Amino acid sequence: MKLDFYRGKKVLVTGHTGFKGSWLCQILLGTGAKVVGYSLEAPTKPSLFELAGLDAKMTSVIGDVRDFDHLKQVFDDFKPEIVFHLAAQPLVRDSYANPRYTYETNVMGTVNLMECVRLTSSVKSVLNVTTDKVYHNNEWVYGYRENDPLDGFDPYSNSKSCSELVTHSYKASFLDERGVAVSTARAGNVIGGGDFAKDRIIPDCVRHALKGEPIIVRNPHSTRPYQHVLEPLFAYLMIAEKQYEASKFAGYYNVGPDDGDCLTTGELATLFCQAYGHSMTWEDHFEGGVHEANFLKLDCSLIKQVFDWQPTWHIERAIKEVVNWTNVYRKKGDIELEMKREIEAFMEDNR
C-alpha cells in the first residue's frame, strides 16, 4: 500500500490522543500530511501519544467533541480536506457506569462533528470509526454484514449504533448533494503496542507481564475478532483516499480479521504467554458482571470485494508485534522508532 496521496493533505483526526488515534497520526505524519488533532487529554497514564512525542510533531488541540463552538473553530482555522472521527467513550463497562456521558460523547459528539463538516466547504472525505458492536447481536456463529440491523445492547454499543444513524442522516440529508464522501467503518477488537486502557485483555496481559505476575482473565470464554491496530487503520486510510477520488466508494464497511483470528479471550491470553515467554501464565477469574456479548464476529466480504482488501497480519504476528513493542517499552527504548519499524514492516508485507 502506498500513501503518497496524503502528502500535503490537511487531515483532521478527532480522538488523536487515544491508542488508535496515536497510531493513525504516526502513519499520517510519515506520509507528509498536515495533521491536526482534536481530543481530550490522553486517556491513560502512561499514554502512547506522550511516549511517541506526537505533540511536538503535529497540531494538537485539546478539546471535547461535545463543545460544538470549540470544534467549529478548529474546522474554521484549519480547513481540513479529510476527517477521521475516532473520538469516543470506548469502554463497555464505563458506559454502564456513565451512560449519559457515553451518549453525549458518542452521539452528540458525532452530531457536532457532522455539523462542522456540513458547514465547512473544504472537507471532501469523512470517515466515522464505529465498532463491530453496533449490530443487534443474536450470538450467531456467522459474521454480521453491513445490512444487518443496528441495535447495540449496552450504552456504549447502542450509542455507537446511534452514531452510525446520525452519520447516515447527515450523509443523505446534506453531504451527498454537496459531493462530500462519507463512510463509516465497523472494526473488530484491535490489539497493539501502546494500549494502556483498562478492561482490555492485551493491556492487562502487558501490565501483568511487566510485573512478572500471572494474567487475570475475567471472561476467558467470550469470542471476538482480534486484529493488529494497523489492520483497520490502513483500511481507514484506503477508504478515505478512494472515496476522496470517487464518491462511489463511500459506504458502510466492516473491517475485521479472517475467521481463524476470531478467538476466545483465553486463547488470546495463551498466545500472549507463549510469545512473551518468561514462564508467563494466566488464571481464570470469571466474575460475571454486566452484560457483554459472548460471541461476535464480522463478515468482511464487502470491503474485500469493493477494494480487493485482505488482512495482512494474522493473530500470531499481531501478538508477536505486541511483545516486540512491550520489550522496547520495558527497556525504555525509542517508542517512535518502534512504531515506525512496525508501520514499515506492515507496509512491506502488504505489497
Residue 164 Cα distances to 4, 38, 174, 246, angstroms: 29, 20, 15, 22
pLDDT for 229: 98
254: which 3 cell numbers?
A: 466492516
20, 132 Cβ separation under 8 angstroms: no
| Partners of residue 191 on adjacent β-strands | 228
DSSP string, 199-248: S-HHHHHHHHHHHT-PEEES-TT-EEEEEETHHHHHHHHHHHHHHHH-GG
SS3 182: strand
Give me the pLDDT at residue 215, please: 95
Q: What is the pTM of this model?
A: 0.95
Q: What is the DSSP pairing of strand 215-217 with strand 82-85?
A: unpaired
- CB distance 121 to 283 below 8 Å: no
pLDDT of residue 141: 73
DSSP code for 150: B
Measure the CA–CA gap between 47 and 329, rounded to whole angstroms.
12
**pLDDT the model gives residue 293:** 60
Give the C-alpha separation, 92 to 244, whole Å: 33
The pLDDT value given to residue 219? 86
**Residues of the chain predicted below pLDDT 50:** none
pLDDT at 340: 98
Is there a contact between 140 and 298 (Cβ–Cβ < 8 Å)? no
Instruction: Check the CA dihedral 228-230-235-240 and report its sign.
Output: positive
E strand residue ranges, the chain: 10-14, 34-39, 59-62, 82-85, 125-129, 181-187, 189-191, 215-217, 223-228, 252-255, 262-264, 282-284
Cα distances (Å, whole numbers) of residue 121 to 14, 37, 116:
18, 19, 10
pLDDT (0 to 100) of residue 292: 60
pLDDT tens-digit map of 195-220: 999 888 999 999 999 999 999 998 89
Phi, psi for residue 295 in degrees, rounded to 5: -135, 125
Closest among 254, 232, 238 to 313, alpha carbons compared: 232
Distant-in-sequence, close-in-space partners of 149: CB < 8 Å, separation ≥ 6: 135, 136
What number of other Cβ atoms are within 10 A of residue 172's Cβ?
Answer: 11
Domains in the chain with CATH codes: 8-350 (3.40.50.720)
